[in-house]
């Protein structure tokens, strides 16, 4: 497949429903899932039909509207009680990605601050979800633009390594880490992107590689345990990853395997960057030890499609994320510019 069937927009509003690109079907099939109930949106987030911290936040915002739309009372106080139930159902889907909680909180604040009748509040909530989506797209473009100032300044075109998927599929349609890749490519500064396959769900091999193929960006997929060797061989100029939650001190949660990349990059004196919007920073957490790490079902490890990979009788440990100490991160690419980890607190009230 060398041309995009539709714009790579993982979440979008169409008439009276939400359409999601079913990321569990990619790269073999481009399929859309229709969502009309908040319960179905919660299930789609939980089962990773939609994934990526910013995209999860956008999906949750629309989920809040769908839940609000179904509330049958005209009394504002009762409406808000029911809306809190919707919010809690959505919060329970994925514990690590802070954009989920950020978007839900923004939708709740919007409802509580409104002095309009219930039906008008519902309309305002839909507009708020659409605004969150539009803002994320603008944010990702800004992240890509600012990153160009901090990427290694070389007369040769750059080779970047990324992990998991932090692209259009994980955001409103451009990407954080892969937005950096896109910006470097359009400016003629990128030679190639190396994409870690990203076990156990293969988001790099399936999703990042698929996005790159759609746009003609040269991409090489490697298994996760090849990354350090590629660094040693001089194949990697910089590492750029996304984030699911960033503590106030700069400690960062991202897809499992990112920590190992950061250690390897430090060992080989290769710059390591995190691309993320400010909504990914959780200023309520002092450090990464306070970030909740989601553990997923062991079948992701022992089974591939219908094929069992491991023998019966073994135990499994399947954390979905790991935590990178801020000391391993050279800089954050944000919509406010390139920020050193020890300067993040200055953005608290931005």
pLDDT beyond 80 at 5: no
Q: What is the residue-averaged pLDDT of the chain?
A: 94
Catalytic status, residue 244: yes
- Which range has the worst mean pLDDT, 47-51, 95-99, 268-272? 95-99
In this prediction, residue 306 carries a pLDDT of 83
Mean pLDDT of 204-209: 97
Percent of the chain having pLDDT more than 90?
A: 91
Catalytic member of 244, 251, 282, 330? 244
Asked if residue 328 lies in contact with residue 262, where contact means CB atoms within 8 angstroms, the answer is: yes
Ramachandran angles phi, psi of 281, nearest 5°: -85, 125
Domains in the chain and their CATH numbers?
Answer: 11-141 (1.20.120.420), 152-347 (3.40.50.10470)
| Alpha-carbon span 293 to 288, nearest angstrom | 10
pLDDT tens per residue, range 134-164: 999 999 999 999 999 999 988 899 999 999 9
In this prediction, residue 154 carries a pLDDT of 86
Confidence of residue 42 (pLDDT cuts 50, 70, 90): very high
| Alpha-carbon span 322 to 299, nearest angstrom | 19
- Which range has the worst mean pLDDT, 183-187, 301-305, 314-318? 301-305
In this prediction, residue 7 carries a pLDDT of 61
| Alpha-carbon span 118 to 172, nearest angstrom | 28
Confidence of residue 4 (pLDDT cuts 50, 70, 90): very low
Asked if residue 31 lies in contact with residue 56, where contact means CB atoms within 8 angstroms, the answer is: no
Asked if residue 19 lies in contact with residue 185, where contact means CB atoms within 8 angstroms, the answer is: no
- Which range has the worst mean pLDDT, 92-101, 175-184, 218-227? 92-101
């Amino acid at each position: 497949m060398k041309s995009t069937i539709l714009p790579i927009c993982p979440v979008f509003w169409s008439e009276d429903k939400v359409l999601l690109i079913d990321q569990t079907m990619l790269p073999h099939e481009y399929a859309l899932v229709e969502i009309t109930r908040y319960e179905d949106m919660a299930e789609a987030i939980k089962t990773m039909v939609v994934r990526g911290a910013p995209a999860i936040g956008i999906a949750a915002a629309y989920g809040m509207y769908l839940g609000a739309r179904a509330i049958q009372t005209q009394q504002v106080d009762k409406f808000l009680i029911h809306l809190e139930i919707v919010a809690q159902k959505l919060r329970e889907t994925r514990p690590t990605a802070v954009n989920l909680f950020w978007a839900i909180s923004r939708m709740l604040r919007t409802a509580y601050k409104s002095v309009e009748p219930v039906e008008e509040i519902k309309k305002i909530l839909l507009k708020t979800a659409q605004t969150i989506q539009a803002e994320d797209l603008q944010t990702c473009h800004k992240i890509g633009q600012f990153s160009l100032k901090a990427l290694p300044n070389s007369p040769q075109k750059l080779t970047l390594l990324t992990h998991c998927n932090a692209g259009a599929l994980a955001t409103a349609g451009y990407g954080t880490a892969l937005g950096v890749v896109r910006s470097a490519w359009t400016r003629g500064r990128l030679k190639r992107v190396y994409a870690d396959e990203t076990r156990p769900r293969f988001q790099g091999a399936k999703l990042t590689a698929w996005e790159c193929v759609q746009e003609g960006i040269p991409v090489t997929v490697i298994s996760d345990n090849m990354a350090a060797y590629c660094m040693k061989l001089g194949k990697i100029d910089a590492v750029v990853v996304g984030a699911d939650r960033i503590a106030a001190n700069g400690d960062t949660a991202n897809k499992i395997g990112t920590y190992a990349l950061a250690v390897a990059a430090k060992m080989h004196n290769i710059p390591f960057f995190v691309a993320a919007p400010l909504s990914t920073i959780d200023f309520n957490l002092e450090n990464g030890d306070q970030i909740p790490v989601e553990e997923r079902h062991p079948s992701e490890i022992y089974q591939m499609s219908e094929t069992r990979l491991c023998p019966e009788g073994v135990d499994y440990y399947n954390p979905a994320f790991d935590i990178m100490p801020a000391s391993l991160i050279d800089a954050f690419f944000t919509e406010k510019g390139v920020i050193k980890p020890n300067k993040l607190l200055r953005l608290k009230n931005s």
